[in-house]
Amino acid sequence: MRNYTELHEFILMGIPQTEGLEPVLFVLFSFIYFFTLFGNFLILIAIYASSTLHTPMYFFLGLLSIFDMFFPSVTCPKMLFYLSGQSRGISYEGCVAQLFFYHFLGSTEGCLYSVMACDRFVAICYPLRYMLIMKPRVCVGLTIGTLLVDCLQATALTSFTFKLTYCGPNHVNYYFCDIPAVLPLACTDSSLAQKVGSTNVSLLALMLLLSICVFYTGIWIAILRIHSAEGRQKAFSICSAHLTAILCAYGPVIIIYLQPTPNPLLGAVVQILNNLVSPMLNSLIYSIRNKEVKRSLKQVFHNVVNTVLE
């Protein structure tokens, strides 16, 4: 029998092939992270401040903004910490938490995109019954169901990863604890965990993407049946921001899966686009392309200025 000594700490090696660029990356990612938090916070304020935005569509948009603040917070603070010259170490428990919340929040965002597509489908295809179908109880039920499913998935992935024994080495060749980066450090056979992890993540992403395609196929058919140009333009404007956000979220993932041979640097760049840039772009997309959100934000700023001047 081999004597195993379990690890208590992992060392994050950072983004591959970026040695010497730490100060530049620290400034860049600090700006993106701050803008992500600030932009999504503004959207929450706009939704809360305007009674006209208290609808199912903006309920889900508010949830997306909350998760867009939480999701990059799983990996970015620690990355900024070691990019500033501090310790690269992360405790075993911290690594477990990072992996769990990364997959929990990431899959929750994916499910929210699908739920928002369903909401847009009902709004365009059944406009007269929209408020009856998407009543508050249904919205809350969809949210709770999404959280439960994603929590179970993240728990399964984390359990399969960390039920293995880790006794050394402890250098994670990545900038955060993710399944493909942690499993090679296991002292026992990790093939089952690798298969479960890759299959689980791929199947969920594929199912969500297919559901979005189904909903938008129905939306497209409904739009083609609209006779007036004004009606079509209004329907397109309702969906344009959501479609743009979906492309920003799924585009990088599709790129990395189409690679003939995996590239560590490209993989890290794609992860950063998903973890940090996409949540920032969501706040820009929904604040610039959505007239109601822009109107509410202008009213909020107007009220703040008047209060300050008084």
Determine how many CB atoms are found less than 10 A away from the CB of residue 61.
26
- 76 to 14, 175, 275, 277: CA distances (angstroms): 11, 9, 8, 11
For residue 289, the model assigns a pLDDT of 65
Q: Which of 67, 272, 85, 107 is nearest to 174 (CA)?
A: 272
* Residues pairing with 12 in the sheet: 172
- 165 to 6, 183, 273: CA distances (angstroms): 7, 10, 32
- 183 to 86, 93, 188: CA distances (angstroms): 25, 15, 10
Q: Which of 17, 47, 3, 10 is nearest to 263 (CA)?
A: 17
For domain 9-309, the CATH class is mainly alpha
Check: CB of residue 275 under 8 Å from CB of residue 72.
yes
For residue 3, the model assigns a pLDDT of 43
Q: Give the DSSP letter string of 171-214.
A: EESSSS--HHHHGGG-SS--HHHHHHHHHHHHHHHHHHHHHHHH
Q: Which of 86, 90, 87 is nearest to 99 (CA)?
A: 90
For residue 69, the model assigns a pLDDT of 94
For residue 310, the model assigns a pLDDT of 62
What does the pLDDT profile of the chain (310 residues) look like in tens digits? 344 446 788 999 888 888 888 899 999 999 999 999 998 998 898 888 888 888 898 899 899 999 999 999 999 999 999 999 888 999 999 999 999 999 999 899 989 999 999 998 998 888 889 989 999 999 999 999 999 999 999 999 999 899 888 887 888 888 899 888 898 888 888 888 888 777 887 788 888 889 988 998 998 888 888 777 777 777 777 677 777 778 777 776 666 655 556 566 777 887 888 888 888 888 777 766 677 787 887 887 777 766 666 6
Query: 148, exposed or middle or buried, with CB in 10 Å at 0-12, 13-18, 19+?
Result: exposed
* Residues pairing with 8 in the sheet: none
CA-to-CA distance for 60 and 62, rounded, in angstroms?
A: 5
For residue 142, the model assigns a pLDDT of 93
Q: Residue 225: helix, strand or coil by DSSP?
A: coil
